[in-house]
Structure 1
Amino acid sequence: MWRGRATNVRFVLPADVGDPAGPSGGNVYDLRVSAGMDRLLVAGDWPRPHDVSALEQTLAGIPDGEVVLVDGLVACGVPEVVVPHARRLRLAVLVHLPLADETGLDPATAELLDRCERQVLRAASAVVATSPTAAAGIRVRHGLANVHVVVPGTDPAPVATGTDGVRNLLCVASITPRKGHDVLVRALQRVEADWRLTCVGPHRPFLPQLPPDDRVSFPGPLTGEALNSAYAAADLFVLASRAETYGMVVTEALARGLPVIASSVPDALGDGGVLVPAGDESAFAAALTCWFHDQTFRDGLRVRARVRRASLSTWDESTQDLRRVLASLRP
């Protein structure tokens, strides 16, 4: 059971975890599952910061034998800091995305990050992934026998009212190459239909590289009621990610009964929508054409979304699953 001092697990997190200007699925996950833990925020340009002193001092201040959870973005790029402490702590590493899977890395950097991550994960007492697919990939990639799975939860939400039921599309994702906004916009430009796309998320240097189109708007990051309103006004949720470990925004959309067309999110989507191959502009355009021109297709997607909505797990379940993993590390 998770009682008394068992709740005093230290959770080492990047210092920007609560920054409203740069919300991410990983940050939301960290904050939601860390209730009852001691959050230790460390500054740095993760995953390979120039100055690792904050992390070194943080880990050094934790007594031998204590259970410590570290966000993989902080841990996996600096084995020279983390591995020595893994020998004296009961260390668990939470992997949101393997470091080498970030889009746009040159081969040498990707190889270095992959090697660093392998050293850290093999030294850890436990590794936690956020989806079954991600866990299987980590096992194969790093030769690990056991990786625990703790999927993100979802908050209950009212069914989205939408606009006319067809043309208002929503994407919630940071504007980065990995999220595939370029694929999405080009696919939409191939569809003969009246559409509007709202891309909610932090603006990044990648933004000017997207195909220009006045039907696409970029309101920046939204939270709270502003984000709820964006979901409520949407008719279809779209996400063209090149790589994801789960895709929390997909379950947020499904929690509102929104139909979904997406890539790289098999675990989040389940049977709740259409999964297209990552980076496949033609496949996205074909699915979107069906959406705009086939009423039966739209009706079927809405039914699938609402069935999936009823089976989504909660954040309480996610928190309990993670606590069981961490409690198993205690003698």
Structure 2
Amino acid sequence: MIAELGDLGWQVDVLNLGEGFPWPSPATRETASNQLRAIPAGRPVVVDGLALGVLPEAAAQLAGHHPLLALVHHPLAMESGLSVARAGQLRASERAALATVHGVIVTSAETARLLTADYGVPAARIAVARPGSDPVAPAPGSQDGIVRLLSVGAVVPRKGFDVLIAALATLTELPWQLMIVGDRTRDNHAVMRLDADIARYGLTDRVVTPGVVSPSHLAKLYAEADIFALASYFEGYGMAYAEALAHGLPVVGTNGGAIPDTVPSDAGLLVEPGDIAGLAEALRRVIGDAALRQRLAGAARTAAEQLPTWPHSAAIFARALERLA
């Protein structure tokens, strides 16, 4: 997005607010607030919601001297695995921060609806700019009789890898292999749970978890895949789902958050988040039926033609900035 805004004539200066958000250390919080206060007055400022949502005091100060835009991928309290107290703390903090901003960019209509209904953000202040997708060649898939499943996402509770592994554990009579690609450094407990589940169900020869891979390696994995599978509890948009459609892959996933807005009903099978039995049945159908996979893949390729491009998304983002400036 930064590159596309540059092509549209915007000079974008990137400010690194530090690591650990949305639970920064006191030192990180203080440093981030000081950095934001040091921005020369009058410049439009865009702050990612991961940080802004836990810096309501800094947001209020910024809004007094700058056109302030929040970029919200999904509400922080929607992250899975939070205690009731922590979720409530995040919701109150983000609601306070969003009350100060002059505009909000969200990545889906579903997130816009949530911010209006649950966070009190006026709909007129919200612009929806879905992330762009780059056109790619359809995946040819595997050629050896093994149905290859690809799952892409950071190993955190919200991605539902516990549900995916439990569902696949009931399908060991079928010829499948799963590759889980994504950051394994974000949540040590979730990584330990995933590795333990794979071992407990006896799937170590069927499930590979390489962590983050290079873009070229990921492109190769997409090309070799037959099915995209991800059991997210919630997505504010679902970029991995969109990437799967771009590669013409059938999708087996959930209807959490904005996923149904991204994945048409004829391009994938979506079940309720956390529904192990429902996900297992969907996986059984798609793994075991080559004709169904072909139909879903054809619909995925059609859906990919309707995905926004990065220039299209950047134009929406730029218009929001222009209104503020």
| Structure 1 length-normalised TM | 0.86
- Paired position in structure 1 for 2:50: 73
Which of these residues, 90, 93, 108, is aligned with residue 70 of structure 2?
93
- 1:3-42 correspondence runs (5 A): 35=6, 36-42=11-17
- Paired position in structure 1 for 2:150: 170
- Paired position in structure 1 for 2:114: 137
Deviation at 1:193, TM superposition (A): 0.6
- Paired position in structure 2 for 1:154: 133
Q: Residue 39 of structure 2 aligns to a residue in which SS? A: coil
Residue 201, structure 1, aligned to residue 176, structure 2:
no
Separation in 2, partners of 1:120, 1:291: 44
Contact 2:112 2:128 (C-alpha < 8 Å) held by counterparts: yes
Separation in 2, partners of 1:225, 1:44: 27
**Residue by residue, what CA displacement relative to the aligned partner does 1:87-134 show, whole Å, maximum 9, x if unpaired?**
221100001121111111111111111001001111100011100111
Deviation at 1:32, TM superposition (A): 5.6
Q: Residue 39 of structure 1 aligns to a residue in which SS? A: coil
Separation in 2, partners of 1:176, 1:44: 16
Separation in 2, partners of 1:54, 1:319: 30
| Structure 2 length-normalised TM | 0.88
Q: Which moved more, 1:118-127 or 1:272-281?
A: 272-281
Corresponding letter in the other structure for 2:282: A
Residue 47, structure 1, aligned to residue 30, structure 2:
no
- 1:179-194 correspondence runs (5 A): 179-191=159-171, 192-194=173-175
- Paired position in structure 2 for 1:102: 79
Number of residue pairs matched by the alignment:
301
Contact 2:241 2:251 (C-alpha < 8 Å) held by counterparts: yes
Separation in 2, partners of 1:186, 1:158: 32
Deviation at 1:317, TM superposition (A): 0.8
Separation in 2, partners of 1:223, 1:121: 35
Q: Residue 14 of structure 2 aligns to a residue in which SS? A: strand
Contact 1:66 1:90 (C-alpha < 8 Å) held by counterparts: yes
What RMSD in Å do the two structures reach over aligned CA positions? Answer: 1.6
- Paired position in structure 2 for 1:254: 245
Corresponding letter in the other structure for 1:197: L
Q: Which moved more, 1:261-270 or 1:219-228?
A: 261-270
Which of these residues, 79, 82, 88, is aligned with residue 111 of structure 1?
88
Q: 1:78 to 1:48 in 2, by over 3 A?
A: farther
Corresponding letter in the other structure for 2:49: G
**Residue by residue, what CA displacement relative to the aligned partner does 1:142-201 show, whole Å, maximum 9, x if unpaired?**
112222111000011111111037610000111111101110111111123111000001
Contact 2:181 2:209 (C-alpha < 8 Å) held by counterparts: yes
Residue 278, structure 1, aligned to residue 291, structure 2:
no
Corresponding letter in the other structure for 2:65: R
Deviation at 1:45, TM superposition (A): 2.2
Q: Residue 258 of structure 1 aligns to a residue in which SS? A: coil
* Percent of residue pairs identical: 37
Contact 2:132 2:309 (C-alpha < 8 Å) held by counterparts: yes
Runs of 4+ in 1 over 3 A off after TM superposition: 30-36
Q: 1:292 to 1:286 in 2, by over 3 A?
A: same
Q: Residue 312 of structure 2 aligns to a residue in which SS? A: helix
Deviation at 1:276, TM superposition (A): 1.6
Deviation at 1:280, TM superposition (A): 0.9
Which of these residues, 290, 301, 306, is aligned with residue 295 of structure 1?
290
- Paired position in structure 1 for 2:218: 227
